[in-house]
Amino acid sequence: MSSMTQEVLATIDDLQNRYIAALDGKDITAWAGTFSEQDEATYICRSAENEAMGWPIALMLDDCRARILDRITFITKIWKGTFQDYRTRHFTQRLSCEQESDTVFRVRSNFSIEYTLDPNASSTLATGLYEDVVVIEKGEARFLSKRAVYDTTVLPNYIVYPF
């Protein structure tokens, strides 16, 4: 983390904040908008158990830009009107940020997602680690890849929104 400027860190933190604000605000299009427009952009959410054991299964596996956009379709069209909605609040803490090239950074952050399904009972939906590759494209930070690895192996509910 030698020559990381405050400015770069602020740009990266701002991206993470836009990400969680999009999710907590249920703006799934804005969520997709935090990812790079390159075809190789990926979002992968999987359990720490699968990760530790080397099993490839994920909970959400968007391994290209088109899949990320299709997740918008899942949520806004395919599942529309079928589920009891819940609110989320994401909390993150950046642990490390390493520069890989002029425009590429590797960022690791803890995350915790509180959710409210019953209005009188907020509780933890999942907690884990974000492993992100961030690119600065046209002066703006975007995720080239985001991996959400959750410790909450047995999730407490069905899952609608990305972690």
Partner 1 sequence: MNMKAGAAPDLAWPSDVTDVPSEVFVRKDIFEEELERIFYGPYWHTVGHEAEIPNPGDFKTIDLGRVPLLVARGKDGVVRVFINACSHRQNQVETAPCGNRKGFECPYHRWTFKNDGSLAGCPGSEDFSPKFRKEDYGLKQVNMTNVFGLILVSLADNPPDIDTYLDRGKQNLEKQIGHKEGLQLLGYQKVRYGCNWKVIMDNDGYHAPLLHTGFRLLGWQSGGGEQFVRDYSAGVESQLVPGKSTGILKDSSLIEFKDSQWDAGSFVTGIFPATILVKHMDVISIRFPIVRSVDCTEIHYAYFAKGGDSEETIKHRVRQASNLLGPCGMISMEDAAIFRRIQLAAEARGTAIFQKGVKDLKSIPNQFLQNDESPNIPRWDHYRRLMGFSKKGEA
The reply on whether position 116 binds partner 1 by CB under 8 A is no
Residue found by looking up tokens 């983390």 in the block: 1
The answer to whether the beta carbons of residues 45 and 151 sit under 8 Å apart is no
Beta bridge mates, 100: none
Q: Which of 118, 125, 123 is nearest to 154 (CA)?
A: 125
| Tokens representing residue 104 in the block | 């590429």
The reply on whether position 73 binds partner 1 by CB under 8 A is yes
Q: Which of residues 139-158 bind partner 1 (CB under 8 A)?
A: 153-158
State the number of binding residues for partner 1 (CB under 8 A).
36
CB closer to partner 1 out of 128 and 134:
128
The reply on whether position 1 binds partner 1 by CB under 8 A is no
The answer to whether the beta carbons of residues 100 and 3 sit under 8 Å apart is no
Residues engaged in binding partner 1 (CB under 8 A)? 46-47, 49-50, 53, 55-64, 66-67, 69-70, 73-74, 77-80, 82-84, 153-160
